[in-house]
Amino acid sequence: MSHLSLIGRPFVVFDPKIKQHRLWYYEFVKKSTWGHCPVRFLVPDDQGDIITMIQRTLVKYYVEKEFK
């Protein structure tokens, strides 16, 4: 295992229910960089890229929240 992988930002699964995750995504949209995000989001194999995965989960989260 590379030494760099041990000291890098931790990996987490994006969860739209966690306000801090939504805030980190908002900062990415505003600044067009993940440079200020303290974590790295994991992408499941079938989800494509990180941006698409987050957008899909956010849409699902807000639609389910509105139409419960």
Q: If DSSP states are collapsed to H, E and C, what string results for 31-62?
A: HCCCCCCCCEEECCHHHCCHHHHHHHHHHHHH
Q: What is the mean pLDDT of each run of 10 residues along the chain (68 residues)?
A: 71 95 97 95 82 94 93
Q: What is the pLDDT of residues 12-26, one digit of tens each?
A: 999 999 999 999 999
Average pLDDT over the chain, rounded to an integer? 90
Enclosing H/E stretch for 11: strand 11-13
Q: Say whether 3 sits in a helix, a strand or coil.
A: helix
Q: What is the dihedral of CA 33, 39, 43, 49, to 10 degrees?
A: 0
CB–CB of 52/7 below 8 Å? no
